Amino acid sequence: MPKFTTIVGRSRALPKAHKLSLAGVAGLGAASVALTLVPGGGQASAAADKAVPAAQVVAGQQQAKDVKAAVTDQLANATVKAEAAKKKAADEAAAKKKAEQERAKKEAASRSAKRVPVKAIAAKTYPNNLDGWIRESLDVMKKHGIPGSYDGIKRNILRESSGNPKAINNWDINAINGIPSKGLLQVIPPTFKTYHVPGTSWDIYNPVANITAACNYAADRYGSMDNVNSAY
pLDDT tens for residues 31-54?
Answer: 443 434 344 444 444 444 555 566
Co-location of 137 and 211 in the same domain? yes
Structural domains of the chain, count:
2
Which one, of 190, 75, 183, 189, lies nearest residue 137 by Cα?
A: 183
* pLDDT, tens digit (0-9, with 9 covering 90-100), for 86-99: 888 888 888 888 88
The range of the structural domain enclosing residue 199 comes to 130-227
Which one, of 197, 65, 113, 107, lies nearest residue 206 by Cα?
A: 197
Co-location of 204 and 150 in the same domain? yes
Co-location of 83 and 153 in the same domain? no
The Cβ-side half-sphere exposure at 142, using a 13 Å CA radius, reads 8
Residue 144 forms part of a structural domain: yes
Co-location of 108 and 155 in the same domain? no
Helices 150-160 and 207-222: crossing angle in degrees, nearest 10, is 110
* Distance of alpha carbon 183 from the chain centroid: 65
How far apart (Å, rounded) are the C-alpha atoms in residues 84 and 90? 10
Q: Is residue 180 within 8 Å of residue 153, measured between CB atoms?
A: no
Average pLDDT, the chain: 77
